[in-house]
Structure 1
């Protein structure tokens, strides 16, 4: 086996693309990092890093070794941290989308505490946190198609989008079939700085409604903000029914027409294969699945669109 110092020097240099940055992180000289990587290459009889003018580039062999080292060092760091904290069977570090966290997960954590008082949760919502790249996280809740390379995943729930607004906005309507959406402010969620999600267009198509101008209205970077704006009477938004269940039950929001749009993507619990069977992760997974079942049982039915439409919020 190559020396551990050489492997670590290569891992940091390959990850940062710089001998200088690697030396800073390892608290050694740049020449020491360069020498260790060169010795590793000589031992393996394979070039791992191509020295460019301003940056290091990984070769095919370098990428293969870097991936293996990152996974190995992450496992070591995770195990050492668990031993040091002496809470590795109780502390669960979870990352989840911000709207899902605030609107679905947080209101249910009290029941998790009642059922598993020994389980301690550290919850983050930073979207840049990656389970594949970080040893700090134990599991993550992700929105997508269930394909995360090298990770295990369990389906939690599908999105089901409906149009909602404050009841006061609809008090003057005569019947549901004659509602004129052009008289309302439409609330949109941004996919990027200059692009909206297409949920309004998908919902209108499912409802069979034409002639609605969706170009205007208010825009928000989080679905949670759009929902809060709807509660405050600002306009109508398209939201996942799972995220507005409390407001619908309390009467803060009402559904506009009995139509929903099923999305192709869903919420998943994502874990590392080597940790999936850990007792505290199994407890958390089973609790999540039970909460999803309870939530689905309590939802009122609505009419689906004729075919699933991708409508992510």
Structure 2
């Protein structure tokens, strides 16, 4: 049953309210929307009339949203973004499907993107739209059809396809070791250790795999693999990095193994999608193709 018309205001009036909440003045709203201030004012008045409630406190030439209107504007902002993405989707690929995919920046660029030419060749009718996300998010709050995630494959309300286990190796610049002899994993505790924000327990897990208890390992924190790799290259400490990221630097001698070789971490990379999207035709096609690219013995969705 469609919603009553009074609860479906015009997009123009909703854009004006959202912009006023974000920008704080009718002048700025008019500039952003390429309209006159009087036109913006009329749209806001029409919105108040349609909803039958006061949304804006007017004080001389100042306009300020009520607390309820600010909350309303925040919800509208998400809805307008979804409408814009849906419009782009139908404009870019009106005769077929598309997939909105969240990717981890480093893994997405280094592992997925080089493989996408094959998918595009096989399925030119499907458009893949990608956005990077570093931190966990909810599919109910962001309009993604699927995402590349790192973990154990146990996301609530989702199904997952395991793509690749992550093997990690401790590396550093050659000069950092100096005269230090690393004869045992515990010897690394005497060196500065670099941490990645998305793997807060990585060092503790690595030490545990060698039987070394090392809870609360101190060190500097980085938000992306690109920055932590540069920190290691410049001798700021030992970084625990996926082996596929440091192959070239190890081969060239810019980085060296701080201890041992690659060890399997306690996580893998997955394609994850909400259960309600499982029958989406574009997602099914992409998932089936991606399964052929998976680097794992058990790549079946679970």
Contact 2:165 2:295 in 1 (8 A): no
Matched residue SS, 2:295: helix
Q: 2:71 aligns with which of 53, 63, 66?
A: 63
Deviation string, structure 1 residues 73-108 (Cα, Å, up to 9, x no partner) = 445434443444345625545442211113332343
In 1, distance between residues paired with 2:51 and 2:77?
15
In 2, distance between residues paired with 1:214 and 1:67?
41
CA RMSD of aligned residues (A): 5.3
Report the equivalent of 1:40. 47
Deviation string, structure 1 residues 1-47 (Cα, Å, up to 9, x no partner) = 35524334224334544433322222223343234323322332223
Which segment is superposed worse, 116-125 or 17-26?
116-125
Aligned residues: 274
The 3 A distance-change label for structure 1 pair 277 and 16 is farther
In 2, distance between residues paired with 1:58 and 1:272?
38
Contact 1:203 1:261 in 2 (8 A): yes
Deviation string, structure 1 residues 128-178 (Cα, Å, up to 9, x no partner) = 9x988888x76543558847xxxx854344975643449x99xxxxxx984
In 1, distance between residues paired with 2:37 and 2:102?
35
Report the equivalent of 1:201. 204
**TM-score normalised by length of structure 2:** 0.60
Which segment is superposed worse, 226-235 or 203-212?
226-235
> Structure 1 residue 286 and structure 2 residue 288: aligned?
yes
In 2, distance between residues paired with 1:42 and 1:92?
39
Alignment of 1:22-41 (within 5 A): 22-41=29-48
Contact 1:229 1:235 in 2 (8 A): yes
1:276 Cα deviation after fit = 6.5
**TM-score normalised by length of structure 1:** 0.58
In 1, distance between residues paired with 2:273 and 2:87?
22
In 2, distance between residues paired with 1:114 and 1:120?
11
The 3 A distance-change label for structure 1 pair 247 and 112 is farther
Report the equivalent of 2:92. 85
In structure 2, runs of 5+ residues without a counterpart are 176-181
